[in-house]
Amino acid sequence: MPTLPEPPASPDPLEPPDPQLAQLRQVAEGFGANADQYDRARPGYPPAMIDRILAAGSGQRVLDVGCGTGIVARLFQAAGAQVLGVDPDERMAAQARQRGLEVEVTRIEDWDPAGRQFDAAVAGQAWHWVDPEAGARRAGQALRDGGRLAVFWNAGRAPGELSKAMAAAIAQALPGTPARDEMPGPEGYSRLADKAADGMRAAGGFGEPEEWRFGWERDYTKAEWLDAVPTFGGNNRLPAETLSRLLAGIGAAVDAIGGSFTMEYTTVVSTAIKTGA
Which residue type, as a one-letter code, is found at position 105?
V
Residue 234: pLDDT band (50, 70, 90) is: confident
Which of 44-58, 70-84, 207-221 bottoms out in mean pLDDT, i.e. has the lowest?
Answer: 44-58
Pick 54 or 235 by higher pLDDT: 54
- Indicate whether 5 pLDDT > 50: no
Residue 12: pLDDT band (50, 70, 90) is: very low
Closest by CA to 54, choosing from 81, 83, 84, 86, is 81
User: For residues 96-111, b (16+ Cβ closer than 10 Å) or e, as one string?
Assistant: beeeebebeeebbeeb
Which of 2-11, 55-64, 145-154 bottoms out in mean pLDDT, i.e. has the lowest?
Answer: 2-11
- Indicate whether 207 pLDDT > 80: yes
Q: Once rounded to an integer, what is the mean pLDDT over residues 238-256?
A: 96
Backbone angles phi, psi at 246, to 5 degrees: -60, -45
- Indicate whether 223 pLDDT > 80: yes
Backbone CA torsion sign across 38, 40, 179, 198: positive
User: For residues 34-65, b (16+ Cβ closer than 10 Å) or e, as one string?
Assistant: ebebbbebbbbbbeebbebbbeeebbebbbbb
* d(C-alpha 221, C-alpha 63), whole Å: 33
User: Which pLDDT tens digit goes with each residue over 98-153?
Assistant: 999 999 999 999 999 999 999 999 999 999 999 999 999 999 999 999 999 999 99
Residue 11: pLDDT band (50, 70, 90) is: very low
> Residue ranges per domain, the chain?
18-158+184-219+266-273
Percent of the chain with pLDDT over 70: 83
* d(C-alpha 204, C-alpha 134), whole Å: 11
Q: Which fold has domain 18-158+184-219+266-273?
A: Rossmann fold (3.40.50)
Per-residue pLDDT at 8: 34
User: Which pLDDT tens digit goes with each residue over 22-44?
Assistant: 545 555 555 555 688 988 999 99
Percent of the chain with pLDDT over 90: 74
Q: Which residues contact 24 (CB under 8 A, 6 or more apart)?
A: 7, 8, 10, 16, 128, 129
Q: Once rounded to an integer, what is the mean pLDDT over residues 198-205?
A: 98
Give me the chain's average pLDDT, please: 87
Per-residue pLDDT at 130: 96
- Indicate whether 245 pLDDT > 90: yes
